[in-house]
Structure 1
Amino acid sequence: MKNKWLQIILSVLSLGLAALLVFYLPQLVHALTGKPVSWQQILQVFGTLDGGEIALMTALWLLSLLAYTFVLTSSLPGLNNLQGLTLNAAGSAVSNLLPFGGAVGVALSFAMTRGWGFTSRAFVVMTLVSGIWNTLFRFILPAVGIMALLAAGKAPNPTVASAGWTGAVSILVLCAVVAAALYWDRAANVLGRAVDGVVRLLRLKFHASQAFQRLRADTAGVVRTRWPGLSLGMVFFLGFQWAIMAACMHGTGAWPGLAESIAVFALSRVLTSALITPSGAGIMESGVAALLITFGVPATPAIATALLFGFWTYTIEIPFGGLALGAWALLRRRNGRNAGAEPPSAIPKATR
């Protein structure tokens, strides 16, 4: 009971902090840049958006949701795209409302997949594989953002450029090594020994290679056969999300350039990992606005872009996920009534 009340208090505080960060975003930007910005000016920018721009953003948002369903269907064989869409929408809605909401989202996803007839082990494998692919791409994105800026000649001097290239390539190599270790036995053994060496140097009582081998044993079957679908799903998902940001930038007059837009998008996805607020709400918008201003975008359109992008990647997912969850609960109740009305011999058993 104490834990339940603690979760409620933390949730209220976390949502309150996110709301305060968004509400006082103009003041924060003014304190950082010295440029006065008001909500009236921001709302005026929103008023310049036309129906075609809003329709484009809506279409890109729906396409991004559809693209991510292929990550879920690839990690859970037998899951269809409609179920994947429902699973993603409902889980995102919960995660967007609660700090550390991922755990509650996982519990909800478990109940949904069990209701569709999937085994507990199949769900665990899906959670592990989709989580690994999300983590890998979260590491890859900053490297891509750095490389885009360097390729566009945005480094202030050769020393910074050299350090940037070294860091970006190192991140990509690390991700490639982890991916290879999940696919090949020899690579897994080499990585396991290397990690064990690091653990020994740090004098930690932890057998990293054994833990990695257990993880690999659980996920090897799906990774070896379905890695193309997983990777393409993540690429298109993130690509459509970047397209949403680009549409927001063009709509508000905040387009900083191709390389800069990629860097801003990469930062936005990294900041969603800030656990102090649900999905980094408020923190993501602050970071996006600050980086856009650094790239020379005026403060008002920079803030408008950050808020608009936050709407399409955070706020709208809450009511949409609520509708998806309500539809799932309604269908589950109706199917339960229908099953109760049939004789036991006529009720098909779920495949295990």
Structure 2
Amino acid sequence: MKNKPLQIALSVVSLGLAVLLVVYLPQIVRALTGKPVSWHEIGAVFGTLSFGEIALMTALWLLSLLAYTFVLTNSLPGLTNLQGLTLNAAGSAVSNLLPFGGAVGVALSFAMTRGWGFANRPIVVMTLVSGIWNTLFRFILPAVGIIGLLMAGEVLNPTFVKAGWTGAISILALCAIVAAALYWDRAAVVLGKALDGLTRVLRLKVHASDAFHRLRADTAEIVRTRSLGLSLGMVFFLGFQWAIMAACMSATGAWPGLAQSIAVFALSRVLTSAVVTPSGAGIMESGVAALLITFGVPGTPAVATALLFGFWTYTIEIPFGGLALGAWALLRRRNGRNAAAESPSAISKAPQ
């Protein structure tokens, strides 16, 4: 979006909507579930949090940030974990402040990695690969949540059970097909033909297989050699984020059960894709609280959990990312001054 006044206006409206959704979260939850909740009760729950519980959440949050650096270092060989942490923090801060902030985050990542000496092509490949892995795991999470609920016997309606199993298996199968097509040539050919057939049926004037094969060509080496590291990075990143939610649930007295907690976490990650507010702020909290209440959690602990989890996965990333971005800019400026200060005349002459 090149219209800066429009971008600023949309950002202000989006952030304002996010604030309103959070401020009126008790009323929204009451409208959705019929459960009365007040800010006074929520504040009382927050007041019961111990230092140990807060320290545990802080440690899990830092571990989740560290885990994601391995996704970035595996998608861009030569990138250090400290650089990956800075890149992730700064990009998250931008995404959390702007609607459609992902595009701005990509531009920022491009500028930062170029400043560290990386060429354009590896940066583009990093953006593609990390985006693919994030998307694949975002699809996998709902399937895992559905399977967890079905195995726990949470859903009793036979029709819903059948639909749930069908949906979960279909999602996992789709992810497996895409992953195989990225890794194996024969699977890529089959998927390319299937995509072309689908575009013909839909009468779309695009060459889907060509686009897909170009994507494979750009990402082939990274996918073939570093897919395990990428996948482990995402698993640990999401695992630590789920652990943050579990810690929030335990601290507020909102623990609904293992399978249910996974389902709530999966929903929270899906709702962050809502582009109405930055990173789905306000929308995610409403959905999490409503689902927890559906699982039998009282209204106040449910809303307190949603707000607490939103703090650790959204709010705190803004000042942390701002500090990371500020440190990067300061070091870049200092290095630029040092480089400018050096000149051929500064080279010492050999002794006569």
TM-score range for the pair, normalised by the shorter chain length: over 0.9
Which portions of structure 1, spanning 4 or more consecutive aligned residues, are displaced by more than 6 angstroms?
Answer: none
The match for 2:5 is 5
Give how far 1:345 is off.
10
Task: Output aligned runs, 1:202-281, within 5 Å.
Answer: 202-281=202-281
Letter in 2 for 1:173: A
Q: Which amino acid aligns with 1:301?
A: P
User: How many Å separate the matches in 1 of 2:3 and 2:346?
Assistant: 43
Amino acid at match of 1:257: G
Residue in 1 that maps onto 2:156: 156
Q: CA deviation at 1:92?
A: 0.3
Offset, 1:344? 5.5
CA distance in 2, matches of 1:133, 1:143: 16
Q: CA deviation at 1:159?
A: 2.3
Please state whether the residue corresponding to 1:92 is helix, strand or coil. Answer: helix
Stretch of structure 1 that moved more, 58-67 or 153-162: 153-162
Residue ranges of structure 2 left out of the alignment (5+ in a row): 348-352
Shift of 1:33: 2.4
Deviations 1:135-177 (A, max 9, x none): 0000000000000000101112222212111110111010010
The alignment partner of 1:153 has SS state of coil
Q: Secondary structure at the match of 2:36?
A: coil
Mapping for residues 176-187 of structure 1, pairs under 5 Å: 176-187=176-187
Q: Any idea what the Cα deviations from partners look like across 1:278-315, whole Å, max 9, x if unmatched?
A: 00000000000000000000000000000000000000
> TM-score scaled to structure 2, two decimals?
0.97
Q: Determine the C-alpha separation between the residues in 2 that align with 1:253 and 1:344.
A: 68
Equivalenced residues, count:
347
For residues 235 and 88 of structure 2, what CA distance do their matches in structure 1 show?
17
Equivalent residue for 1:199? 199
Which residues of 2 match residues 65-84 of structure 1 at below 5 A?
65-84=65-84
- 1:96-149 Cα offsets, whole Å, 9 max, x none, are 000000111111111100000000111000000000000000000000000000
Letter of the structure 1 residue corresponding to residue 157 of structure 2: N
Aligned residue type for 1:121: R
Sort the Cα spacing of 1:346 and 1:79 in 2 relative to 1 into closer, same or farther, 3 A. farther
Q: Which residue of 1 aligns with 2:350?
A: none
Letter in 2 for 1:310: G
Letter in 2 for 1:5: P
**1:77-100 CA distances to partner (integer Å, 9 max, x unpaired)?**
000000000000000000000000
| Corresponding letter in the other structure for 1:3 | N
Does residue 63 of the first structure (1) align with residue 55 of the second (2)? no
Q: Is 1:343 aligned to residue 336 of structure 2?
A: no
* Partner residue, 2:327: 327
C-alpha separation in 1, matches of 2:204 and 2:15: 37
User: Counterparts of 1:42 and 1:155 in 2: how far apart (Å)?
Assistant: 29
The aligned residue for residue 49 of structure 1 is 49
TM-score, length basis structure 1: 0.97
Per-residue deviation at 1:59? 0.0
**Secondary structure in 2 matching 1:296:** coil
Change (3 A) 1:41 1:158: same
RMSD of aligned alpha carbons: 1.4
Instruction: Find the aligned partners of 2:291 and 2:332 in 1 and give their Cα distance.
Output: 46
% identical equivalent positions? 85
C-alpha distance in 2 between matches for 1:290 and 1:209: 41
